[in-house]
Amino acid sequence: MLSGKHILLIIGGGIAAYKSLELIRRLQDKGARVTPVLTRAGEEFVTPLSVSALAGTAVHRDLFDLTAEAEMGHIQLSRSADLLVVAPATADLMAKMAQGHANDLASTLLLATDTPILLAPAMNVRMWQHPATRRNLAQLMGDGVQVVGPDEGGMACGEFGPGRLAEPDEIVRAIAAYFDAGPLAGKRIVVTSGPTHEPIDPVRYIANRSSGAQGTAVARALRALGAEVVFVTGPATVPPPEGVEVVPVETAREMAAAVDAALPADAAVFAAAVADWRVTSAGDRKLKKSKDGLPTLDFAENPDILKGVAQRQTGRPALVVGFAAETNDVIEHATAKRLRKGCDWIVANDVSPATGIMGGQENSVTVISDSGAEAWPRMAKEAVAEKLARKIADALAAPKPVT
Ligand code: C5P
């Protein structure tokens, strides 16, 4: 999972610096490339030779190292990495970062970069708990810097408490989690999928042919980009994706209640094939054949879940996406549907039998938004899901228009 990733590892001065050697090893074992930077104080604890021998590359030490400047330059050095990791991050380095100092190579790299930064602090417990460090930490976290540790335990100075550098494995996990996070990290997305079953009596029901394949693929793709997904699914034939919160439901009304309970969310994608009607005469007794004639079923309209969420006055997700399965005049019908329902996008497809889309592996969709209709080429349902998930990630990342 770290394969091919380039980590710029800044080793600060502290007794825990020796653990950074182990960290280099573990990162390399996972396939990462590590470029080490050693601060002056760091050199007191580990030698440049051991760091560069382990990293298999020269260790950067000096801001005014002209050879390095000519070859690369400190600005480029800080930006060529996928992630900057500071381990150990001393109280002094954190203070410099919080204040924006740039008076040595490490602090200059940290200030010059637009690459995300992960800190693994390590210091004496009193230094960690000092209001100045607390202030600096809050400032850095507010600036978007990520932090792993410190752990609690006995320290080299004989004191006990929080301040120990996180173990190398824990730091590797934090780094891996960062790369796993994806553009939808921190975003909560509700996805409906599958058919609904509307009971006629305790043993019979009205259903439809939805397999749940497209909704499942969308949920999986959103999860793969780091979203927290609540997957509200009717009785589908394909299994739900891994890593999502699965809320199984049967009827449209249960689905509506589950969606309501899952909000607030940043986005909602309605891929379920929801029954438009339910049988109001469904009781708890099985209908019997009778010589008095055929049974009559009474129907009531089901709640339109998509419309209800899209038209919420409060707590509406920033992005509401519906699907529209049409058999003719797809764009025209789906465009009207988008307006009628009040959703942001409609993913429309032609499900007329000749297309082979219903129950098939592929889909050919047109995404309709207020900026028009975007026709996507025919592709596997998984590929449609991945393209849609990327589009959702882009939309949620874009700054909100000022209204
Ligand atoms: O109105 P129609 O069923 O064609 O609209 C399809 C879209 O509306 C899909 O996104 C579907 O999940 C959603 N829908 C819903 N609740 C309903 C009916 C449809 O959420 N009762």
User: Read out DSSP for 111-172?
Assistant: HH--S-EEEEE---HHHHHSHHHHHHHHHHHHTT-EE--PEEEE-TTS-EEEEEPPPHHHHH
Specify the CATH number for the domain of residue 192: 3.40.50.10300
- Give yes or no: residues 197 and 257 share one domain: yes
Rounded CA separation 271/322 (Å): 7
Query: Do the domain assignments include residue 1?
Result: no
- Give yes or no: residues 250 and 385 share one domain: yes
- Give yes or no: residues 158 and 49 share one domain: yes
Specify the CATH number for the domain of residue 154: 3.40.50.1950
- Give yes or no: residues 121 and 203 share one domain: no
Q: Out of 145, 179, 213, pick the residue that ends a domain.
A: 179
Residues 6+ apart with CB under 8 A from 251: 196, 197, 198, 199, 275, 278, 302
- Give yes or no: residues 132 and 58 share one domain: yes
- Give yes or no: residues 240 and 104 share one domain: no
Q: How many domains does the chain have?
A: 2
Tell me if residue 343 is catalytic: no
Could you tell me the pTM of the whole model?
0.64
- Give yes or no: residues 287 and 331 share one domain: yes
Query: Do the domain assignments include residue 296?
Result: yes
Nearest CA, atom 6, ligand 1: 324
- For residue 341, count CB atoms less than 10 angstroms from its CB and return exposed for 0-12, middle for 13-18, buried for 19 or more: buried
Q: 259 C-alpha vs ligand 1 centroid, how far in Å?
A: 13
- Give yes or no: residues 98 and 28 share one domain: yes
Measured CA angle at 304 (ends 300, 309), to 5 deg: 150
Answer for the pair 128, 163: CB distance below 8 angstroms, yes or no: yes
Answer for the pair 14, 88: CB distance below 8 angstroms, yes or no: yes
Q: Out of 121, 151, 179, pick the residue that ends a domain.
A: 179
Segments forming the whole domain that contains residue 25: 6-179
Q: 216 C-alpha vs ligand 1 centroid, how far in Å?
A: 16
- Give yes or no: residues 205 and 175 share one domain: no
Digits of tens for pLDDT over the chain (403 positions)?
688 899 999 999 989 999 999 999 999 999 999 999 999 999 999 999 999 999 999 899 887 664 555 555 777 788 889 999 999 999 999 999 999 999 999 999 999 888 899 999 999 999 999 999 999 998 998 888 889 999 988 777 777 888 999 999 999 999 988 887 788 988 999 999 999 999 999 999 999 988 999 999 999 999 989 899 999 999 999 999 888 999 999 999 999 999 999 999 999 999 999 999 999 988 889 998 888 889 889 999 999 999 999 999 999 999 999 999 998 999 999 999 999 999 999 999 988 888 877 777 888 999 999 999 999 999 999 999 999 999 999 999 876 544 4
Rounded CA separation 24/32 (Å): 9
CB count, 10 Å around CB of 315? 10
Q: 400 C-alpha vs ligand 1 centroid, how far in Å?
A: 26
- Spell out which residues line ligand 1, taking CB within 6 angstroms: 192, 252, 270, 272, 274, 302, 304-306, 322-324
- Point out the catalytic residue in the list 53, 138, 141, 157: 157
